[in-house]
Structure 1
Amino acid sequence: MTDAVPTPPATLVIFGATGDLTRRLLIPAIINLTRSGLVGDDLHILGIGIDQGDDEMLRGKLDDFLAGLGGDQPLSKDEAWLRLRKRISYLAGDFTKDEIYGEIGKRLNGNAAFYLAVPPRFFGEIVERLAANKLTTEGENCFRRIAIEKPFGTDLASAKALNAQILSKVAESQVYRLDHFLGKETVQNLMTARFANMMIEALWNNRYIDNVQITAAEIVDVGSRGAFYDATGALRDMVPNHLFQLLAMIAMEPPNSFDAEAIRNEKSKVLKALRVYTPEEAKTHGVRGVYTAGKLNGADITAYHDTPQVAPGSKTETFVALKLYADTWRWAGVPFYLRTGKAMTARDTEIVVTFQPVPFAQFRETEVNRRLPPNRLIIQVQPDEGMSMEISIKSPGLSVDTVPVSLDFRYADQFDIGKMTGYESLIYDLMIGDQTLFQRADGIEAGWAAVQPFLDLWAKEGEPEAYAPGTMGPACADELIERDNRHWHDIGAIAKKT
């Protein structure tokens, strides 16, 4: 981002300004952009919230939070924050009433972006009220954009309805549907790694790739989010958004340019090509689990079913694993194994591309029928962003035998990215009008279509299989992949090496 131009003058209106997302991620990201010169003194932030107070109330809340960041040099004392702080204002009011929108209109003069850091049930209503009060009307030199956090819908029908509601009031070009995973450096680097390196792209097809695994594992439990999580579950929370976006970037065809629409076209094609299973197929291609009570890293974990605000007899899953296919010429026959869960062995989001094994091991001291370990490309999204390539080499000594080794790259070894939240690129692109990293309506709906058979099946029958905290998930997840004579990549393996 060092060669990027500063954002144009604008007002960023944040609905839900006193919430957790704003103080933990949005404001630190804007501070980083300010420090790097990508946001100037002509960006103003207008916070909207239900809490009573004035400008200093919001600034003070942010001061208190930022004081706990940065170690010996608190972020609350950072020069970039002190510059930004002066340009933050606050409006208290009910954003389900028209009165607050009239007040917002009085504060706007030119470009504006509206960030909906609020519960999903308010997305459609806020957009409708913004439009009704003419706050979304664009001029020749005046943009009006809307950033919407996930989850975008709870199933295919609700996603279609929400898209229809929003797009009846504003154009698709004004809507920025966020997935914060796409702000990660490694995720953005996927396209560069593929399309700037012939040695990778030449092998990127079903002739050379055996399978792809995408994992998003968390060590945290549901905690105080019982009410939200019980209505959502692991599949809705992670698969049609986070994991499918990673899958789309892995499986997309080379775009004819790096224009936003060209890239989004190719990503949407992948999501539309995901095989939609019959109810019977869904039974054998998806499994789910729920964590029990136990210990994790020395701490006691309460069983999900005993979590406050989780309904008695809940069948909500805290773990899900799927086997999917993208029915395209490039990926025909290559399974994509996806899994995500809470209270697992390690915090680990990664993509593992396993290549086909060599057909014949013609080495002395090596049995002819021995299968050498396959090459793997491991793309680590978090926590230690980077890439590893697993290859085989000759072991030292007089005999000719092979051993696996890993060629590793870590972003932190080469670049200073330690203070990034992952939202910097997304906020910057929102303000300059680049939709490359944002989801489009058709892609959202295609993702929900692919998981709808599992949602329908699990709503009618079966219960999640129990798994202990600190494990790699339920036994049924291992069975899902092992019946194909494959195995899951070890969660946290990269972190263990470092």
Structure 2
Amino acid sequence: MITQPFKVAIALFGATGDLSRRKLLPSMFHLFQEGSLKDDFAIIAVGRRDFSDDDFRKTAEESISANKKLENLDGLETFLEHVFYVKLDIADSNTYKVLNDKFESLEAEFDTGNNRLFYLAMPPQYFTVITDNLRESGVTDTSGFRRLIIEKPFGKDYDSALALNNQITKTFDEHEIYRIDHYLGKEMVQNIEVIRFSNSLFEPLWNNHYISNIQITSSESLGVLDRGEYYEKSGAVRDMFQNHMLQIVSLLGMEPPISLNSDDIRDEKIKVLKSLRRLGEKEVKKHFVRGQYDEGLVEGKAASKYRDEENVAEDSNTPTFIASRLYIDNFRWAGVPFYVRTGKRMKDKETKIVVEFKEVPRNLYYQAEEDDVLAKNLLVIRIQPDESITLHLNVKDYAGEKDTKEIKLSYTVAKQDLARTVDAYENLIYDCLNGDSTNFTHQEELMNAWAFVDPVNKVWENDAASFPNYQSGSSGPIKSNLLLSRDGFKWWDV
């Protein structure tokens, strides 16, 4: 984090919600502890409850104190002196004068440079209501910078995403809009670029001459919990695949940018999304597998099926699991499958990337009675729960039982390094304050992702599936294994 603190006033819409309490307020407090926020900042919590400043400060104090990732609470009392509350009817533009008055008074009190950040920790149906009223009431008229952070989902398909963007850009320019994807704030996701572009060991091999396939897995052991109503509308495709998973694909598949400027990096990511092979109805059924969890055991405890969850239809056709085989049709990646899977109520909670390299042309190290097979060379990038990088190699077997054995060269991110931030949101809020949009989703990225995903959703929405089709606590539907085995591969459990 920088030593020079930011000058800014932050309006936090949805300040009393779960996201703000668990993630955003602790992240902002830690930015204060680290010196990125110091004297010249203010936080305006916006909500509909009848709170005073002291009422909300008590709520904020409880939320921050409950965060186990904070090493200490040094400076909390001073931080809370910069936190204020405004009651607002977000649908009534006339009430926004109260918010503007609060901005102006705090800008005079704390010398925030008239910089205004609007964080909408709200359901997406309120995005355009708020941005329209901010514009019409003059709250966005400021001599400093103005920036907007919005949470996913950014639309439910191509057309709705386009309409959402067209409406928001009446108030904010594209460079002022920060579409937040918390996966892009994770340290090991950001490390993908560093691993690729700072090591001559990997970049010359990062193509179809040396890589046989790439696998991306993001599995959760939990079900949908109390989010059944939301999940029925989104499913695994809109909740995870269209955003998080395709973002990781674009980072793995992109060409080296000409610089680390956010526009240059985004340009290369967009090229990957444009190069994804578009699929017709028959191809969707061939390259995609969907699933929905049944009853089962997770960590030794009985788990119910998805259709028994609260606010879920008894005959729900919503997938809680998706596996896919993607092809990036460009010179670098022609013929290399990218296998992507994500699901709920699976065996483990983990997010990882496995890069499988091609075999050597001929195995010289085997005995006649042994199989003529060497262990695969793998690069494993683990994003959660532990953050690590592991390289699988073959070396001489000094025990003499075989000519070779597999070893693992591994680096695990130290706990003290992970403690640098309390959450991925902290990294992204910092980047936004710094005007760095590298790890946020650009409109063109978003539209190309929807253009790829829409045909998949249309096929599945018009075709009832035989659900449920995988047990809770398993690795997903059997068909997801066939997706790889037909190509001569397997999901790596490493």
TM-score (norm 1): 0.93
1:119 pairs with 2:123: yes
Cα deviation code 1:144-181 (max 9, x no counterpart): 00001111111111111111111233211100000001
CA RMSD of aligned residues (A): 1.8
Tell me if the contact between 2:217 and 2:351 (Cα under 8 Å) persists in the aligned partners: yes
CA distance, structure 2, for counterparts of residue 85 and residue 357 of structure 1 = 58
Q: Structure 1 pair 352/103, CA: closer, same or farther in 2 (3 Å)?
A: same
**Residue 299 of structure 1, CA deviation:** 2.5
- Equivalent runs, 1:388-427 vs 2, <5 Å: 388-398=390-400, 401-412=403-414, 415-417=417-419, 420-427=422-429
User: Residue 78 of structure 1: which of 65, 73, 82 is its match?
Assistant: 73
CA distance, structure 1, for counterparts of residue 368 and residue 77 of structure 2 = 65
Partner in structure 1 of residue 280 of structure 2: 278
Give the aligned residue type for 1:150: K
**Residue 228 of structure 1, CA deviation:** 0.9
CA distance, structure 1, for counterparts of residue 360 and residue 370 of structure 2 = 12
Tell me if the contact between 1:286 and 1:322 (Cα under 8 Å) persists in the aligned partners: yes
Instruction: Provide the secondary structure at the position in 2 that maps to 1:437.
Output: coil
Tell me if the contact between 1:15 and 1:116 (Cα under 8 Å) persists in the aligned partners: yes
Tell me if the contact between 1:285 and 1:480 (Cα under 8 Å) persists in the aligned partners: yes
Q: Structure 1 pair 387/97, CA: closer, same or farther in 2 (3 Å)?
A: same
Instruction: Provide the secondary structure at the position in 1 that maps to 2:147.
Output: strand
Partner in structure 1 of residue 20 of structure 2: 22
**Residue 414 of structure 1, CA deviation:** 6.7
Structure 2 gaps, min length 5: 108-113
Tell me if the contact between 2:294 and 2:468 (Cα under 8 Å) persists in the aligned partners: no
Partner in structure 1 of residue 67 of structure 2: 69
**Residue 7 of structure 1, CA deviation:** 4.0
CA distance, structure 1, for counterparts of residue 368 and residue 409 of structure 2 = 24
CA distance, structure 2, for counterparts of residue 341 and residue 26 of structure 1 = 26
Range 189-198 or range 129-138, more displaced: 129-138
1:349 pairs with 2:344: no
Q: Structure 1 pair 68/203, CA: closer, same or farther in 2 (3 Å)?
A: same
Partner in structure 1 of residue 37 of structure 2: 39
Partner in structure 2 of residue 378 of structure 1: 380
**Residue 392 of structure 1, CA deviation:** 1.1
Give the aligned residue type for 1:131: R
Tell me if the contact between 2:88 and 2:96 (Cα under 8 Å) persists in the aligned partners: no
Instruction: Provide the secondary structure at the position in 2 that maps to 1:320.
Output: strand
Q: Structure 1 pair 434/367, CA: closer, same or farther in 2 (3 Å)?
A: farther
User: Residue 491 of structure 2: which of 457, 477, 488 is its match?
Assistant: 488
User: Residue 254 of structure 2: which of 252, 255, 265 is its match?
Assistant: 252
Instruction: Provide the secondary structure at the position in 1 that maps to 2:188.
Output: helix
Partner in structure 1 of residue 193 of structure 2: 191
Tell me if the contact between 1:181 and 1:187 (Cα under 8 Å) persists in the aligned partners: yes
Give the aligned residue type for 1:390: H
Give the aligned residue type for 1:50: R
Give the aligned residue type for 2:118: F
User: Residue 474 of structure 1: which of 460, 477, 484 is its match?
Assistant: 477
CA distance, structure 1, for counterparts of residue 74 and residue 132 of structure 2 = 38
Q: Structure 1 pair 467/138, CA: closer, same or farther in 2 (3 Å)?
A: same
**Residue 419 of structure 1, CA deviation:** 5.4
CA distance, structure 1, for counterparts of residue 142 and residue 62 of structure 2 = 37
How many aligned positions are there?
A: 484
Tell me if the contact between 2:214 and 2:353 (Cα under 8 Å) persists in the aligned partners: yes
- Equivalent runs, 1:258-337 vs 2, <5 Å: 258-337=260-339
Tell me if the contact between 2:6 and 2:36 (Cα under 8 Å) persists in the aligned partners: no
**Residue 230 of structure 1, CA deviation:** 1.0
**Residue 95 of structure 1, CA deviation:** 1.0
**Residue 295 of structure 1, CA deviation:** 2.2
**Residue 383 of structure 1, CA deviation:** 1.1
CA distance, structure 2, for counterparts of residue 474 and residue 80 of structure 1 = 50
Instruction: Provide the secondary structure at the position in 1 that maps to 2:447.
Output: helix
CA distance, structure 1, for counterparts of residue 297 and residue 329 of structure 2 = 42
Range 237-246 or range 158-167, more displaced: 158-167
Structure 1 gaps, min length 5: 494-498
Instruction: Provide the secondary structure at the position in 2 that maps to 1:384.
Output: coil
TM-score (norm 2): 0.94
